[in-house]
Each structure stands twice: as C-alpha cells, then as structure tokens.
Amino acid sequence: MEKQLEYSEFIKKEAKELGFLSCGISPAGFLEDQAPKLEQWLKEGRHGKMSYMENHFDKRLDPTILVPGAKSVISLLLNYHSETTQKDPEAPKISSYAFGKDYHLVIKDKLNQLLERLRYEIGDIEGRVFVDSAPVMDKAWAEKAGLGWVGKNTNLISKQVGSFFFIAELIIDLELAYDLPVADHCGSCTACIDACPTDALTAPYEIDGSKCISYATIELKDAIPDFFVGKMENWMFGCDICQTVCPWNRFAKAHDEKAFDPTGELIDFTKKDWIELTEETFKKVFPKSAVKRTKYEGLKRNIQFLKMN
C-alpha cells in the first residue's frame, strides 16, 4: 500500500508539471451503475444520428476490455477557459474550447509524456492514453476519481474550478492508491436547464443529444432540422450556454496553455467575414483546429442556417 501511495503521488506531481489542472485515480472495473443509463439513453434515441455511440457497448463500460490487464484509470483535467471573446457581438459564435489548437493533439502529447515518465520512474508499465476518441466514459471515470460531480447539465463540475476543462485518461496495468468521489453541489439550482434554448436538458442530469446545439453544429452531417429554427442563439460551432450560466464557473480561471490561444482572425472576424468565408480562409484560420471536424462545408452550412433564421 505504501508503494501504491508513493506511485499515485508521483503521478499527480508529474501531471501538475505537465500543466494538467487536476488528476484523480480510480480502480479499473465494470461501470455497473452506468450500464442501464447508457442502454436506456440509446434505446430512446437520444444520441440522434451519432450511430457510433451504439458501438462497443461493453468497451464503454469496462476498461479491462480496452486495455487487457488494466488495474487503474488515471483521469486528468486540462483547463481551456478563455476570457477572450469574439470582437463582433453579431458574429456567429464558436465554443471557446475550439479557439486554439485541436485539444486532441495537445492532450495526447502530454499524456504520452506522462506515460513515459511513469515508465522511467516505475519500470515496465502497459497502458493506453485516451482523449475523447475511444469508447471511454470520461465523465463517469472523472467522477469516480473525485475530480467533480456530473451536474444537471450533464457536464463534470468542480467546486474549485467550474467546468471549462477537457477530460482525458491514462489506463494502466498498475495498482495504485485510489481517490473517492465528491458530493453533488448542484443543490436546487436549475440555471442550465432554464437557459437551454432547445430544451435539450430534458430533466436534471438528463440530456437529449439530438436537441443539443453542439450536436446540430458538429455531430450532425445532414441538413440542420427545422426544430432548431430560431433557437440557435447565433452558435455556428458548439455551444457554451449551459456552462456559462453555471454558478460554479465563477471560479473558472483563464488557461495558461499557449496552444489554446485563439488566432487573430478568429477573434477579429466580423459577421460579414464569416458569411463570406472561403475554403482557403477556412484552412488558414483553422489549420490544426477542432473546428476542422465540421469541414468547410459543415461550417458554411451552419453559418447559412443562422443567416436564414
């Protein structure tokens, strides 16, 4: 137990040095309480056309299938909160997590560094890094590791720093000292539910993904349904509403990760600039950005939808 505690403290110290906001550790095992919730959510079609959510059901719930021999799930948070805003108040809006370089690239690099440091310090460790691109239930693991609670807006919330952060995991075959979950501090607040313009938050702690503005502007590849007419609040990529109104985000501090700083064009572009966006400019403004997920055609579709409605 002494060794396990020593290794866990080493991991948290190294994570902090690499710029992570916080780090928590939980034992790898089947997420029993999540299985019926996920099954029901899929059965009700709340994933919309995100058919990939139906795949790898068992892997989503059991990290030992993803990483044979897994003993520990190390959950990490990386701050992306920005106090910078787009200058033209009428310009179509981009979720602040996509202001800078694609977070997948930034975080994966940090996680690989962390794994190498562990191997150097501890010895031969088998493990894999995960950043939102594999069937891992990030929020459930971060909650188990005591990094926050899943709030009424279905985001992980920390009492200390709010919710403007990315979640990532390092799953390894080493037993460690484990953290305990924290209490839910949403209380009687319903700010997120009241503020959601599409009523995607159908009840406290429940979301219909197919009604979410982020789904419509990023995940959905077809034409945006008429359901969203007059409800988009000028968002062309993602949506920050249910986080912005959350009282716990008054404790959010600006990130210090240079890679997440926005380009000048993104911040300075006027509404007219976005409407007249060319593919050449798109490639220039978003060279290594999460916005590339929509591709040029998808972003133009979103801008056109806002213009028409």
Tell me the per-residue pLDDT of 259-295, one tens digit each, with 9 for 90 and over: 999 987 899 999 999 999 999 999 999 989 999 999 9
Please check the confidence at residue 49 and state whether its pLDDT lies above 90.
no
Confidence of residue 220 (pLDDT cuts 50, 70, 90): very high
Q: What predicted TM-score, i.e. pTM, was given to this entire model?
A: 0.94
| pLDDT in the model for residue 55 | 77
| pLDDT in the model for residue 250 | 96
Confidence of residue 97 (pLDDT cuts 50, 70, 90): very high
Domain boundaries, the chain: 2-172, 191-249+262-308
| pLDDT in the model for residue 63 | 93
Cα separation, 264 vs 279, in Å, equals 18
Please check the confidence at residue 125 and state whether its pLDDT lies above 80.
yes
pLDDT tens digits, 161-211: 999 999 999 999 999 999 999 999 999 999 999 999 999 999 999 999 999
In the three-class reduction of DSSP (H, G, I as helix; E, B as strand; rest coil), residue 288 is classed as coil
Q: Residues 194-216, buried b or exposed e (16+ Cβ, 10 A)?
A: ebbebebbeeebbbbbbbbbbbb
- Mean of per-residue pLDDT scores for the chain: 94
In the three-class reduction of DSSP (H, G, I as helix; E, B as strand; rest coil), residue 25 is classed as strand
Please check the confidence at residue 37 and state whether its pLDDT lies above 90.
no
| pLDDT in the model for residue 257 | 96
| pLDDT in the model for residue 46 | 83
Please check the confidence at residue 214 and state whether its pLDDT lies above 90.
yes
Q: Averaged over 299-305, what is the pLDDT?
A: 97
| pLDDT in the model for residue 78 | 98
What positions carry a catalytic annotation? 132
Please check the confidence at residue 39 and state whether its pLDDT lies above 90.
no
